Amino acid sequence: MLKNERNFSLILSSPSGAGKTTLTKKIKDNFTNFEISISHTTRKARIGEIEGKDYFFTTVEDFKEKIESNYFYEYASIFGNLYGSSKHYIKLIQQQNKNLLFDIDWQGARQLSNYRELNVVKFFILPPSKDELIKRLKLRRKDKEKSIIERVSFYEKDIIHWKEYDYIFINDDLETCYSQIKTTIDQLLNKKFY
């Protein structure tokens, strides 16, 4: 049971490279009543990523054991790696009377929607075009060419799920997109959730 009717879980999903992680961090930086849900993952840490801040890094074997023990609210396989949101961690945030922020894909969003106690609101972020998405993936330099090709190939599979979301935003310009998201969050914070 949530302490406050206004607590809710905000999910941001998008095709890879559309800006959801940057937007999630901007929400966290500008709204003190939000906490990012840190996912468990089997992927290797990238340079600069910190255990317990960016992800909880784990092995495939440990992750599968956690699935068997019903440890996750949601989990999914993305680009060959497993990701999941732990019930324990989410409940800790709820006990602090904070709203939850999820940076997850449509698979996780669909699973979280089944839990009434999470008061889920879903935002889908779209790039202005597929060409712009490719350009952004190349510019961010986190991904190798093979990874970029793989992420672009998933673009069509990801965008068809936008209809499952409550709000759709086009990230043509980061600050404009964030301003629209902020206005929507302000409106949601003034509503009651049941």
Low-confidence ranges of the chain (pLDDT < 50): 1-4, 194
Angle between helices 130-140 and 145-159 (to 10 degrees): 150
For residue 28, what pLDDT is reported?
Answer: 95
Would you kindly state where each structural domain of the chain is located, as residue ranges?
9-189
Nearest to 172 by CA among 19, 1, 57, 59: 19
Class of the CATH-defined domain 9-189: alpha beta
pLDDT digits (tens, 9 = 90+) for 1-40: 333 455 899 999 988 778 888 999 999 999 999 999 999 9
